[in-house]
Amino acid sequence: MLGRRWGTRLAAAAAGLTLAAGLAAGCGSDDAAADRPEIVATTTVLGSLTEELVGEAAEVRVLMPNGVDPHDYQPSARDVEALRNADLVVENGLELEEGLLDALGEAREAGVPVFTATEHVRLREVGEGEPGDARGGSADPHIWMDPLAMRDAMTALAPVAEREVGVDLGERPSELAARLGDLDAEIRDTLAAVPEERRRLVAGHESMGYLADRYGFELLGAVVPSLGSRAQVSASNLAALRRQVEREGVPAIFNELGTPPGVADAIGDETGARVVDISTAVLPADGSYFTFMREVAATVAAALAPES
């Protein structure tokens, strides 16, 4: 079965088949890609894993450039058009893609199928909704920090892609699931270097909760105590965080994309904690989620393991 929009594009192109045949000798990989159905992923992590899942069966396009804070991204006119013309859209959900919400809504209204990854994993709840709590009992959207959560999401995506896009993924879903299970075991081994008493995380904002829950760490606090990086830093929160870092003897503060410049350094100067840059939303040069998570684990282990 062909993807609905892909089938429409092929039908529209049928009149040009005679001319295309005459040019076939000059066609390359770009033409082959144009003939495939298109899946649009909102983030680089989702794009990386979706591409691992579908292989050459579909073209995967990522909207957000690597290195852009997903909480802040605003779509271009081309992004809006890509969403409306996609055979399938893969989004994170839970308003991670704040700036894309209207465009995603328009795509849904146009009949584009949208797969929401956070609807297929066990979610972490943050806060209890007390008055004045910026976190307010919200579900945490940063599911990619747990490879087993991403395994659940990709396992759920596989039949949706086969149905909506009209592709046969063969053994790729089970192979990807096995690799993500192996990645989890590898990360667990890497983080085994951190003893129990040092398994406390202080991050730029609350982006490392799934990592903490999966591997036995406590997310002690954040420079911006919010699930998004747009929240404002308050003097009272910073004072409380500084006291907590001193009291608990936290060895490192993890500085990430979206953390207000200089704030983590100021807390580090006052408490003696090292400030360590960590990538929680930016894929490495090879574009691989697997490399990304290995580097996250290695950074955490190096920062928190006792000095030899």
pLDDT tens string 184-228: 999 999 999 999 999 999 988 888 999 999 999 999 888 877 665
Across 278-293, average pLDDT:
95
The CATH architecture of the domain made up of 195-304 is 3-Layer(aba) Sandwich (3.40)
Residue 308 has pLDDT above 90, yes or no: no
Its pTM stands at 0.84
Per DSSP bridges, beta strands 114-116 and 88-91 are parallel
Query: In this structure, which amino acid lies at residue 135?
Result: R
Q: Which residues contact 40 (CB under 8 A, 6 or more apart)?
A: 60, 61, 62, 63, 82, 83, 86, 88, 89, 90
Mean pLDDT of the chain: 85
Question: What is the reported pLDDT for 27?
Answer: 43
pLDDT tens string 146-183: 999 999 999 999 999 999 999 999 999 999 999 999 99
Where does the chain hold its CATH 3.40.50.1980 domain(s)? 31-125+135-184, 195-304
CA-to-CA distance for 300 and 279, rounded, in angstroms?
11
For residue 55, count other CB atoms closer than 10 A to its CB: 14
Question: What is the reported pLDDT for 195?
Answer: 95
Across 132-148, average pLDDT:
78
**116 SS3 class:** strand
pLDDT tens string 216-264: 999 988 887 766 545 566 788 888 888 989 898 899 999 887 777 788 8
What CATH superfamily classification does 31-125+135-184 receive?
Nitrogenase molybdenum iron protein domain (3.40.50.1980)
What angle, 0 to 180 degrees and rounded to 10, lies between the N-to-C axes of helices 172-191 and 147-165?
170
Check if the beta carbon of residue 16 is closer than 8 Å to that of residue 96: no
Q: Tell me which of 5 and 85 has the higher pLDDT.
A: 85
Query: In this structure, which amino acid lies at residue 14?
Result: A
